[in-house]
Amino acid sequence: MPLSDCEVRDPRIRRTRQLLQGALRNLMQKKSFDEISVQDITDEATVNRATFYDHYTDKFALLDAMVAGGFHRLLDERNVKYDGTCASAAGAVILATCDYLSECHKGQAECQRQSAFEPLIESAITKAIRRVLISGMPREGRLPVPAPEMIATTASWAIYGAVKEWCGGGNGLTAEEIVPQILQLVIPILNASDPANAAAPLARG
């Protein structure tokens, strides 16, 4: 299976995965994730269990794909690409994370019902952010530096943690106002991919 549903080109596969993700999304409005079985999902999606396992190993993999897919769609709609050269690119990723998490937290009753799988949501979103960041990082350097994978992972958790704090902090700042503050925390991490710029900010643009 591709690392991301975004990589799927076959329209039949995309349609089946959309059906399964839509089924899980609908079921989660009615009961907790722990109560949902693969059979529930396949019944809701009107596909058989064998088809489910052709696409996902279990319901946790489906949840991961559903969350990551929603985040990547938001990035695609905004044409957000991280190329590692300017702060505005990283800022766009942070703003998208703010908006996505805000949307996820809108339904308070549902959030309380689904609180048991919050670590799964965290994992899915941080992996999605990591995927975006690592795509724009240099792969080679003349000096020993942390691996791009380590940098992207650290930055993704920093972004997620800061945005989560903003979502629940009640500090009164808008997403647009908090992004520069989070950017100040994240830029030094991202700069670690380039030893020549490790002590300097990313180019503004």
Which CATH number goes with the domain that contains 31?
A: 1.10.10.60
For every one of its 205 residues, what pLDDT tens digit does the chain have, with 9 covering 90 and above?
Answer: 344 565 566 788 889 999 999 999 899 888 888 899 999 999 999 999 999 999 999 998 998 888 888 888 888 888 888 877 677 889 999 999 999 888 877 654 455 555 556 777 788 889 889 988 988 887 665 555 788 889 999 999 999 999 999 988 767 899 999 999 999 999 999 888 665 554 444 544 4
Residue 147 maps to a domain: yes
Residue-level pLDDT at 4: 55
- Residue 194: inside a domain, yes or no? yes
Q: Which residues contact 18 (CB under 8 A, 6 or more apart)?
A: none
For residues 47 and 54, is the Cβ–Cβ distance under 8 A?
Answer: no
d(CA 85, CA 201): 10
Amino acid at 97: T
35 and 83 share one domain: no
pLDDT of residue 177: 94
Residues 45, 101 share a domain: no
Same domain, yes or no: 89 and 56: no
- Identify whether residues 188 and 104 lie together within a single domain: yes
Give the domain range for residue 172. Answer: 78-205
Confidence (pLDDT) at 203: 47
Residue 90: exposure state from Cβ atoms within 10 A (0-12, 13-18, ≥19): buried
**111 and 158 both lie in a single domain:** yes
Residue 67 inside a domain? The answer is no
Q: How many domains does the chain have?
A: 2
- Tell me how far apart the alpha carbons of residues 83 and 72 are, in angstroms, rounded to a whole number: 16
Task: Check residue 197 and give its pLDDT.
Answer: 56
Q: Return the closest-CA partner of residue 17 out of 58, 66, 59.
A: 66
13 within some domain: yes
Distance CA 100, CA 132 (A): 15
Question: Do residue 34 and residue 103 come from a single domain?
Answer: no
Residues 56 and 105 both lie in one domain:
no
50 and 5, same structural domain? yes
The model's pTM:
0.77
- Measure the CA–CA gap between 78 and 82, rounded to whole angstroms: 12
Rounded Cα distance between 139 and 74, Å, is 26
